[in-house]
Amino acid sequence: MRKNEQAWLNAREITPHKRELAQRTLEDIRSGSKVFDALRRNPLPNGDGFLNKSVLVAVYRDLVAQGEWEKDPALLAKIRLKPMRTLSGVTTVTVLTKPYPCPGKCIFCPTDVRMPKSYLPDEPGAMRALFHEFDPFDQVAARIEALHAVGHPTDKIELLILGGTWSSYRKDYQEWFIKRCFDAINERPFDSLSEAQAFNETAEHRNVGLAVETRPDHVTPKELAWLRKLGVTKVQIGVQSMDDRILELNRRGHTVAEARAAFALLRAAGFKIVAHWMPNLLGATPASDCEDFAHLWRGLAPDELKIYPTQLLANAELYEYWQRGEYTPYTTEELIELIANIKTTIPRYCRVTASSAIFLPQTL
């Protein structure tokens, strides 16, 4: 076991002393103290820092289960880790599909043989997937357990399936993958996806949304009928740019017209639509990106938006363009100014769920 994994496990281990500290901390919070102040008043011995919130949640639940305390939703809300994550009442569980050939040839996508195209093993969700060897059951079961441990509700779950172009995977793999996700949510195996879906309608953990990623040129009426059968409710589409010249320079492999057609089909079929848009692609400027962004709201109008500034990664073909002097990344100041400006133009109906990609420094 790696050192950081052991440290993670140690932080969540509940020893008798930690339990005593946790109960004292919880009593302080119930008496009106702020969580951080209560934790500081009850530090771990030997200068080992403070209790993890997952320990507070576990001890609180144990006290309630033993009948020593009454349920206190307000207290649980205070000690919950990252409470904004499930403020809507729906908990997102992210899983990744196995590495698989991508139909795209985009020059900006990183390539790592261990991961699906465009993903790196240092991203949090990708790290979990790699640890579980991309097994859908293990990923979902472990994530639900982890979210429950830090105080989040898990009765309503949105499955977020990542891994590049979902539509390029074999259909038998797609159906098996989703069934195994449902098996984990239902906490029991089923012979078919339809049986798992039917059982889930009244299960303790109910799936209320299912999202996949694909490309505009893979959206057809036949494909949407298949996605509906799988139970998909939301589709993430890599638009990236509304300029055919930029798309061609970056070898995206589809046109703006195909993106518009895909959005029209998805909307007619009743799917929620999440658009991915990338500033600072090869051939773009801050000024052209501002103009390009405005075109997203003329005919596309996605329900949600993810803004992924182009990252210069050593394992992407774009890196070679930079080495030859054919590509210049925006400065941090230019990028901040661009995103700050375009965010003010986003319609109120559109939810921004990401405005950067997560990469550790050693990958840049």
Q: Is the domain of 196 the same as that of 288?
A: yes
Indicate the length of the chain as a whole number.
364
Q: Is the domain of 138 the same as that of 157?
A: yes
Q: Is the domain of 154 the same as that of 283?
A: yes
Q: Is the domain of 53 the same as that of 103?
A: no
Query: 107 or 102: which carries more pLDDT confidence?
Result: 107
- Which pLDDT tens digit goes with each residue over 267-303? 999 999 999 999 999 999 999 999 999 999 998 999 9
d(Cα 117, Cα 313) in Å, to the nearest integer?
A: 13
Q: Is the domain of 33 the same as that of 168?
A: no
User: Could you give the number of structural domains in the chain?
Assistant: 2
Q: Is the domain of 39 the same as that of 102?
A: no
Letter for the amino acid at 37? D
Letter for the amino acid at 157? I
Taking the model in full, what pTM does it have?
A: 0.82
Residue 94 has pLDDT above 50, yes or no: yes
Whichever domain contains 143, its CATH number is 3.20.20.70
Q: Is the domain of 20 the same as that of 150?
A: no
Residue 221 has pLDDT above 70, yes or no: yes
Mean pLDDT over the full length of the chain: 90
Domain edge (last residue) among 22, 51, 79: 79
Average pLDDT over residues 296-316: 94
Q: Is the domain of 258 the same as that of 357?
A: yes
pLDDT of residue 360: 37
Q: Is the domain of 196 the same as that of 282?
A: yes
Radius of gyration of the chain (CA): 23
- Which pLDDT tens digit goes with each residue over 328-353? 999 999 999 999 999 999 999 999 98
pLDDT of residue 282: 98
pLDDT of residue 3: 53
Query: 361 or 100: which carries more pLDDT confidence?
Result: 100
CB burial of residue 22 (10 Å; 0-12, 13-18, 19+): buried
What range defines the domain where residue 75 resides? Answer: 3-79
Q: Is the domain of 71 the same as that of 102?
A: no
Q: Is the domain of 74 the same as that of 92?
A: no
